[in-house]
């Protein structure tokens, strides 16, 4: 983190500022980001349930029917499905920004320096976020992935990106094979591994004392969250496919890609929900297998999450097509307009969730996580998302950027 941010010269080819708050943006990417934040809240909030044994992932052990319903839906449809979505949209945004710079007359080298500066800034934001509030921060993970992938793949062909995405996906696929081979050889309790959204450092939010908890969070972030996300290769693969999709304007012009979006949605959701349901049934103990076999299903759940996340993106693209056919743009004050406003301020919306969850539920704060159950945690996740939605709507109505977007712009864009 002591490396200086790469300077950007704009003397001959000035760097273009981000897309204006009003106008000039496609509906589908912002709509997807806004809806995605609801799923992120649902995925993260179980980590704030304190003082209870954990079962699948971060979910608290419970016999309450409402809790089991909440856990089943979350495991099947949300856990390990959200972060591939985020990674795909991150890769999509990389190409959007790069092309916007080139269209303005910037040299390719200048545009790449801007991307590097932006990613270094995101890494700094992630470090601060993890230190102050949330060990599961994903900004740092995507920033590191962006630094490497832009350097290696930005100038590569679509075919090259797709081939390498397949190579990256071979890693979790091999983990799946290893897990089931291990189970067949009687090593079910030890084979498998974590994924984004799996167990991880479950006691992090139970650390007492703010500064002690800060150290625990940073350790978990640096030695669990980032390595697991990067080295399982799900995130890099999703970023590369997001870059390919942006080159084809899949979400910028979704009406031109409806058949493809339908195929992606059908395949992605079938695989995603199918593998998720298997993990959920194991959590309900209806498969007749010991709980130690959850580690066998974890790699499959993680790999299925990649397909499920991409499937959700396709669904959001299809929703935007439907909305655009009903009217040219979301009506100010409507729910869709507010979701799109939140998507424009997704960084602020993401950090806002931590500002709500951590001080209220973590042990160093009010410690109310001891009173959470799985079903109530899901309800509060949607409440936190709605708070972000209202804040974004107010900012949109006033024509203001989100505070996090404003700060990122101040650092990443030259004066």
Flag whether pLDDT at 65 surpasses 80: yes
Per-residue model confidence (pLDDT) at position 137: 96
Find the range with the poorest average confidence among 8-17, 158-167, 371-380. Answer: 8-17
**Looking at per-residue confidence, does 286 or 188 come out higher?**
286
DSSP code of residue 134: -
Using alpha carbons, list the distances in angstroms from residue 379 to 257, 302, 390: 35, 24, 17
CB 283 within 8 A of CB 75: yes
Using alpha carbons, list the distances in angstroms from residue 413 to 30, 35, 111, 186, 255: 21, 27, 11, 55, 33
CB 308 within 8 A of CB 273: yes
**Looking at per-residue confidence, does 84 or 16 come out higher?**
84
pTM of the model: 0.89
210 band by pLDDT with thresholds 50, 70 and 90:
very high
Per-residue model confidence (pLDDT) at position 366: 97
Q: What is the 3-state composition of the chain as percent helix, strand, coil, each rounded to the nearest 5?
A: 70, 0, 30
Please compute the mean of the pLDDT values over residues 391-411 and round it to a whole number.
94
Flag whether pLDDT at 212 surpasses 90: yes
Please compute the mean of the pLDDT values over residues 279-307 and round it to a whole number.
87
Q: How far apart are CA 320 and CA 336, in angstroms?
A: 10
17 band by pLDDT with thresholds 50, 70 and 90:
low
Q: How far apart are CA 357 and CA 384, in angstroms?
A: 8
Find the range with the poorest average confidence among 30-44, 184-198, 332-346. Answer: 184-198
In sequence order, what DSSP letters do the residues of 2-54 get, joined into one string?
-SPPPP---SSSPPPPPPPSSSS--HHHHHHHHHHHHHHHHHHGGGG--SS-B
CB 242 within 8 A of CB 163: no
Find the range with the poorest average confidence among 22-26, 47-51, 318-322. Answer: 22-26
**Looking at per-residue confidence, does 22 or 231 come out higher?**
231
**Looking at per-residue confidence, does 57 or 5 come out higher?**
57
DSSP code of residue 253: S
Domain ranges in the chain? 33-412
Q: How far apart are CA 194 and CA 179, in angstroms?
A: 12
Using alpha carbons, list the distances in angstroms from residue 142 to 73, 118, 137, 367: 27, 11, 10, 30
Per-residue model confidence (pLDDT) at position 373: 95
Q: Write the pLDDT tens digit of every residue in 317-336.
A: 999 898 877 765 667 878 98
Flag whether pLDDT at 200 surpasses 90: no
Flag whether pLDDT at 364 surpasses 70: yes
189 band by pLDDT with thresholds 50, 70 and 90:
very low
Please compute the mean of the pLDDT values over residues 360-380 and round it to a whole number.
96
Find the range with the poorest average confidence among 27-41, 125-139, 199-213, 351-365. Answer: 199-213
Q: Write the pLDDT tens digit of every residue in 51-61.
A: 888 888 889 99
Flag whether pLDDT at 20 surpasses 70: no
Per-residue model confidence (pLDDT) at position 330: 66
Closest CA to 201 of 181, 182, 218, 184: 218
90 band by pLDDT with thresholds 50, 70 and 90:
very high
């Amino acid at each position: 983190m002591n490396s200086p941010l790469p300077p950007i010269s704009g003397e001959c080819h000035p760097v273009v500022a981000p897309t204006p708050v009003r106008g000039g943006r496609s509906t589908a990417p912002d709509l997807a980001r806004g809806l995605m934040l609801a799923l992120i809240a649902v995925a993260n909030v179980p980590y704030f349930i304190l003082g209870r044994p954990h079962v699948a992932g971060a979910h608290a052990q419970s016999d309450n029917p409402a809790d089991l319903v909440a856990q089943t839906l979350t495991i099947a449809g949300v856990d390990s499905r959200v972060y591939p979505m985020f990674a795909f949209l991150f890769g999509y945004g990389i190409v959007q920004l790069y092309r916007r710079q080139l269209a303005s007359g910037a040299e390719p080298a200048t545009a790449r320096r801007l991307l590097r500066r932006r990613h270094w800034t995101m890494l700094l934001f992630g470090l601060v976020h993890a230190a102050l509030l949330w060990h599961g921060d994903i900004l740092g993970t995507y920033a590191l992935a962006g630094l490497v992938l832009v350097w290696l793949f930005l100038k590569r062909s679509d075919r090259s990106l797709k081939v390498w995405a397949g190579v990256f996906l071979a890693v979790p696929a091999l983990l799946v094979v290893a897990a089931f081979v291990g189970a067949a050889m009687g090593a079910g309790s030890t084979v498998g591994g974590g994924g984004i959204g799996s167990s991880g450092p479950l006691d992090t939010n139970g650390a007492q004392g703010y500064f002690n908890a800060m150290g625990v969070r940073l350790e978990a972030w640096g030695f669990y969250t980032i390595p697991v996300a990067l080295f399982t290769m799900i995130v890099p693969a999703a970023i590369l496919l997001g870059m390919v999709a942006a080159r084809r304007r899949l979400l910028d012009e979704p009406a031109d890609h409806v058949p493809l979006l339908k195929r992606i949605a059908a395949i992605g959701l079938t695989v995603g929900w199918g593998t998720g349901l298997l993990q959920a049934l194991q959590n309900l103990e209806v498969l007749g297998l010991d709980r130690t076999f959850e580690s066998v299903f974890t790699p499959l759940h993680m790999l299925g999450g990649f397909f499920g996340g991409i499937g959700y993106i396709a669904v959001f693209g299809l929703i935007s097509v439907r909305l655009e056919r009903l009217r040219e743009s979301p009506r100010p004050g409507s729910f869709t307009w507010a979701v799109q406003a939140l998507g424009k301020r997704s960084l602020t919306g993401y950090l806002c969730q931590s500002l709500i969850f951590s001080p209220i539920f973590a042990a160093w704060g009010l410690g109310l996580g001891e009173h959470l159950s799985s079903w109530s945690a899901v309800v509060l996740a949607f409440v936190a998302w709605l708070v972000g939605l209202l804040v974004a709507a107010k900012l949109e109505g006033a024509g203001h950027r989100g505070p996090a977007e404003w700060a990122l712009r101040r650092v990443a864009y030259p004066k």
